[in-house]
Amino acid sequence: MNIALWIAASVLALAMLGAGLMKLSRKPEQLKAAGMGWVDHVPAGAPRIIGLLEVLGAIGLIVPALTGIAPILVPLAASGLAILMIGAVIVHVRMKDSFGHTLPAIVLALLAIFVAWGRFGAYAF
């Protein structure tokens, strides 16, 4: 189970790091062109804040576990990312996006929930 949790955390961290860096480095027009139509419906700074949270969450999934410093941050980061991705699912549903467009957010939410469950529970560090 520990290996499955590491794999899930690694996949989740890579996805969040990529998505977060994209939101931090691109303008809203570029994000919209990349398929993120929701940027028109949120305050101007929201994509950058979301991107920052995604990057911090990705770091929180891996670094504390590797260093042994404050490993409680791993399930906390996973919980925060789960909340963020559930919010993303809600936004996709409210915007009437297709299931295929919503599916990545659902999968990432489930991965985050799995990591939080495992690292808060019997497989904590």
Whole-prediction pTM: 0.94
CA distance 125 to 71: 6
Residue pair 34/22 in contact by the 8 Å Cβ criterion: yes
Question: What is the number of residues in the chain?
Answer: 125
pLDDT tens digits along 67-109 = 999 999 999 999 999 999 999 999 999 999 999 999 999 999 9
- The domains of the chain are located at 2-120
pLDDT-derived band of residue 125, with 50, 70 and 90 as boundaries? confident
Distance, CA of 96 to CA of 103 (rounded, Å): 13
Q: Give which of 85, 95, 88, 91 is closest to 12, Cα–Cα.
A: 85
Q: What pLDDT band is residue 116 in, cutting at 50, 70 and 90?
A: very high
